[in-house]
Amino acid sequence: MTIRLALGALLLLVTLVGLPACAGTRATATPDGEPIELVVDESIAVSDDAQVLPSVIISVDEAVAVADDVQVLPSLVIFVSETIAVADDAQVLPVPQPTAAPAPTPMPAPSPELDLAIEKLLDSAFHYGRSGSYAFRIWNVGAGIARSPITMVDDLPDGFTFDSYSDPFTTDWACTASGQRVTCAYNGPDISPGGFLPALVVTVTVAPIGEFPEGSGAVENCAQIRQRDDVNPANDESCVSTAVTPSGAAA
């Protein structure tokens, strides 16, 4: 580091070796072959981002008279034994610090694609005025991990009313109904590729034959699986044809 001191910014008092020591920062020099002691009696301010360290070299741009019989010559090397301050109008060049090369930023790994599939199945026969059940098979057919929440939505046809749901092996499913729409939310552990969600069964009540809007025959019923990261909507819906018959009749 080089410090350039403006004239008048620093008061240097020089005493010959052997005289009593003075307060301040001391350094030694040898003009004309005779050792002398330089004593800095005043504080000189340093900028916020600079520091004068021991053994710093101070270059004086021109001759500076410090006493009647002693002269400090240009480019005199002064070894400072402790940290000092520099005046406001002095120039301080920060010590260059070695800069480590930044570590290369790793490229993000490509995100594996998540793909859930659903299959809706009849879990019982359906008779007028009785209850019937649907089972849902939902699994991860993609390369990504399926994370909660995962939602299954089933819009029941007219004449069907949501009755209850069953999660036989876990407590990870929860189902509610609003009108004809049944919404079941899965909030369980992650599902790895190839893994299945817990079994889910939804039970509905079928209206009596005199109140059933479609009369006799079969009705179509579809359900959808929804997850925010699913990339393939083609297998997110499954439909089943439900034959409704009088009680005791063959399905």
Split into its structural domains, the chain has a count of: 2
Examine the domain organization and report whether 86 and 125 are in the same domain. Answer: no
pTM as predicted: 0.55
**In a domain? residue 137:** yes
- Domain span including residue 204: 116-245
**Residue 31 phi, psi dihedral angles, 5° rounding:** -65, 140
Tell me the pLDDT of the chain averaged across its residues.
Answer: 72
Residue 166's pLDDT is 94
pLDDT digits (tens, 9 = 90+) for 65-122: 445 554 444 444 444 455 555 556 655 455 556 667 777 766 544 457 999 999 999 9
Q: Which amino acid is at 215?
A: G
Q: What is the pLDDT of residues 149-177, one digit of tens each?
A: 999 999 999 999 999 999 988 899 999 99
Report the CATH number that the domain containing residue 223 is assigned in CATH. 2.60.40.740
Which residues, 6 or more positions from 3, have their beta carbon under 8 angstroms from its beta carbon? Answer: 52, 56, 58, 59, 86, 90, 91, 92, 93
Whether 75 and 140 map to the same domain: the answer is no
121 shares its domain with 239: yes
* pLDDT surpasses 80 at 191: yes
Same domain, 213 and 126: yes
Within a domain: 103: no
Q: How confident is the model at residue 212 (pLDDT cuts 50, 70, 90)?
A: confident
CA 103 to chain centre: 19
120 and 85 fall within a common domain: no
Confidence of residue 130 (pLDDT cuts 50, 70, 90): very high
- Give yes or no: residues 49 and 148 share one domain: no
Instruction: For strands 150-155 and 217-226, give the pairing.
Output: antiparallel
Q: Within a domain: residue 97?
A: no
Residues 182, 173: Cα–Cα separation, whole Å: 13
| Residues 34 and 132 both lie in one domain | no
DSSP strand E in 30-95: where? 36-40, 57-58, 64-67, 70-72, 91-92
Q: Are residues 40 and 83 in the same domain?
A: yes
Query: Would 106 be classed as within a structural domain?
Result: no
Residue 61 is assigned to a structural domain of this protein: yes
Q: What does the pLDDT read at residue 217?
A: 74
